Structure 1
Amino acid sequence: MASVINRSDTPRSPDPAIRRRGRLQLLLILLLTLGPMALATSMYTLKFWVPESRNYHGEMIGNGQGRAALGVSSDEQRWQLLVTAPNGCDGDCQQLVYLARQLQIGLGRDASRATHALAVGQPVDTAYATRLQREYPQLQRYTLNVPTYTQGAEGNGAAQLWIVDPHGNLVLRYDPQVKGKDVLTDLRHLLKLSNIG
């Protein structure tokens, strides 16, 4: 018995217009998925279209330095407002210590997530040490290793205020002339974004 070939069972080649449309759809899908990744990689490596504006007021420390790079040994597990003064605690240092305490109080309900501390390279005078014990009972005090501090910090020996995260990483640095409102804004923003500390 001879088999009858049914012409409807033979495969047909697709219409060239349908084939072009399918290829175009595939290219669009690939472009939409891989295009943004390629653009972001190019922007990062070639440093173009990088925004110049910023929303923080201090100097960002983005190189992975920790407290140890400043010559401060501490195992604090909360956010920290750290005042450093390699040449003793002069007027600028004392103002930053006061500011650090006020900033912690200014955090309100988040005040328990942060501490304030002082690290000095030389002992403070007796009168100021007494004042610190009386007026700043929660102030943590550390000895600053001056040679390590000189290598790890900028600022030619002036007092500085640092925001340190709960892992001990330096986040932002401020000069003595900083406005408290600016630091408080930065610290609140960091605490809002952070799930640690």
Structure 2
Amino acid sequence: MSNRIKLLLLMILMAAPVMASWSMHLFKVGIPEQQTAKGDLLPELPPLAEWPLDWQADGRWWLVMAADQECAAVCDQQADKLWRIHRALGREAERVFRLRAGGDDALPGEVAEAWTGLPPEGVEPGKAWIVDPQGQVVLAYQADVEPGDIHRDLMRLLRINQDQGR
């Protein structure tokens, strides 16, 4: 009799995690609602190749910011922030390039491209985006975002995608 009880207890012990996870899924209890990315994930923006810029995806990750003549102070602060983030990437910095869309002045190591038409809807001066090697906008950031948030998101993307952007 004691062998049967031991077997029954062992079966209950083995089935408990499956039953617990099934009940969590069914009743939506205890499921973490944690957000990993600090930026807006997959914003509704066209790929960078469709922006009115003389730019083409070249297999690299890009930190992109929009600029124009009216946002001189904010855009300069954002450009400096992205430059510092780029420097903080360390040895991964060679996989990421910076693009100032709609700007004339470029910081060292930054590419500045003037608009050849009207910017897409949702592209506002001072905002920043992370663009993948295929030219798709992955994450969007407001001008007041903390640099550490962009850095963590970018490092996570680079770590997950080791083979892209090399």
Q: Is the 8 A contact 2:43 2:140 kept in 1?
A: no
Partners of 2:75 and 2:44 in 1: how far apart?
25
Q: Is the 8 A contact 2:67 2:75 kept in 1?
A: yes
Say if 2:147 is the partner of 1:189. Answer: no
**Normalized against structure 1, the TM-score is what?**
0.60
**Structure 1 residue 52, shift from structure 2 partner:** 3.7
Higher helix share: 1
Give 5+ residue unaligned stretches, structure 1: 1-35
Once the two structures are superposed, the pairs formed by residues 1-197 of structure 1 within 5 Å of their partners are: 52-61=33-42, 65-75=46-56, 76-120=58-102, 124=104, 129=105, 132=106, 136-147=107-118, 149-151=119-121, 153=122, 157-194=124-161, 195-197=163-165
Aligned residues: 139
**Structure 1 residue 89, shift from structure 2 partner:** 4.5
- Secondary structure, in 3 states, of the residue corresponding to 1:117? strand
**Normalized against structure 2, the TM-score is what?**
0.70
Give 5+ residue unaligned stretches, structure 2: 1-21
Q: Which amino acid aligns with 2:61?
A: W
**Structure 1 residue 146, shift from structure 2 partner:** 4.8
Q: Which has the larger radius of gyration?
A: 1
Partners of 2:32 and 2:132 in 1: how far apart?
25
Q: Is the 8 A contact 2:64 2:101 kept in 1?
A: yes
**Structure 1 residue 110, shift from structure 2 partner:** 0.6
